Amino acid sequence: MKFGDMQQNPRHLINGRWEIGTTTGVSTNPSDTREVVAEYARADRNQTELAVRAAADALPSWSQSNPQRRADVLDMIGSELLARKEALGTLLAREEGKTLPEAIAEVARSGQIFKFFAGEALRIQGELMASVRQGVQVDVTREPVGVVGIIAPWNFPFAIPAWKIAPALAYGNTVVFKPAELVPACGWALAEIISRSGLPAGAFNLVMGSGREVGQTLVDHPLVNALSFTGSVATGDRILRSASARRAKVQLEMGGKNPLIVLADADLEQAVDCALQGSYFSTGQRCTASSRLIVEARVHDAFVARLRERLTALKVGNALERGIEMGPVVDSTQLDQNLSYVDIARTEGAEHVWGGERMERATPGHYMSPALFLARPEHRIAREEIFGPVACVLRADDYDHALSLANDTPYGLCAGICTTSLKHAMHFKRHAAVGMTMVNLPTAGVDFHVAFGGRKESSYGAREQGRYAAEFYTTVKTGYMLA
């Protein structure tokens, strides 16, 4: 398939066939809103029902397939993603607004994820052990959980679906995948590759459309055995209440308000780099973004001055242009929300350091300058997830105060520290109330082969990625046999 073909109208994949929708939607380029990226089919409840039933019908065949077949399928998908990373990355940059280098790297990461789980398909382990009863043998095995509904966000339209779909298929489950409506072309491009990988009809299905119809049908359907969702806390809470009422397995990733502590002994240039990358790259549209920069008093002013200097030089513009460091916000709704938080910060008395304005560029788009404020812990800008290029600095008296501020949040996804003290680094790794810690690294940026997830309101259920994915995508069976 050529790159130009990716501009054709994306359709649903149901039971191995490409289907039109009951209505159509449009995705546009946030770097140039005059450009329509895709006119896509939108499914209704009936089409979603057909996709679920197709997945249920395909489950006996795929769940009992041999591991080598699963490995070959996933490896083929990964190889094609890697081979076409430039073209697919260009599509991603056009539809979501991520800078082209970031977009290409994301597609490459998604290919690596599929290849990793190709290997995991061959490494599904069990246990054989002695019973407490004479002459009885006990074994513990892992089996597929069943039909998996996957509801993915717009901010990583290749990588996040990859780290959900790949383990689901590797462990023998069948899938119904709903991408976010802002990125249908990316979801379709991934599905088109998967459709040619050798899966039986119905083992993987794509349905595009609203959360109200497609998403809720997946959540409520009695044939959907497990649901993996990444998105807002409010939506995650609704999914948990609905799905758990019928005893479905649920996995939720719901965001963060991630702190980056900068101690007085830190390499200040390194700390500024960590803050810049973690807070503003990918336009701050990452659940792992550093939105709270907690800086020890002795270096507070110097850190703020250096970060402000870097922000003034940050190149904001069309995601496809060479040298751009920060692309546009994904759409007008998100941009308006970001700007409203800038106004809230000013109203509540946070000190404005830089940015937070709507920007004009050669092409009409959803551009804003990266915003930085000096805040207090009670300010909303320091407590609520904004999901944009907006960060605040909190002053800390010392390490203990900084750690207390870092943990003072209902979220618990990721936390970072910049320090040259081994003592403080080790203490921080143990006592930060999060699922992931970073030392002298940006909070945003994780490996694909290890566990991903958090605590408190950030996550619910088993971890994603790596071998820990087996906890969600399989169920454990204990068997007894008289020897």
Catalytic sites, residue numbers: 253, 287
Rounded Cα–Cα distance for residues 341 and 449 (Å): 35
Q: Which two tokens stand for residue 74?
A: 């996933």
Contact (Cβ atoms closer than 8 angstroms) between residue 178 and residue 227: no
Q: Is 219 left (phi over 0), alpha (psi -120 to 50) or beta?
A: alpha
Name which of 441, 427, 439 is nearest 398 in CA terms. Answer: 427
Name which of 439, 443, 395 is nearest 417 in CA terms. Answer: 439
What distances in angstroms separate CA 174 from CA 15, 63, 228, 449, one per listed residue? 11, 8, 13, 22
Name which of 410, 354, 423, 418 is nearest 382 in CA terms. Answer: 410
Rounded Cα–Cα distance for residues 250 and 473 (Å): 10
Give me the residue label for tokens 């970072």: 416
- Residue 26: strand pairing partners: 39
State the angle between helix axes of 159-170 and 184-195 in degrees (0 to 180), rounded to the nearest 10. 30
Name which of 12, 15, 13 is nearest 54 in CA terms. Answer: 15
Pairing mode of beta strands 127-130, 136-144: antiparallel
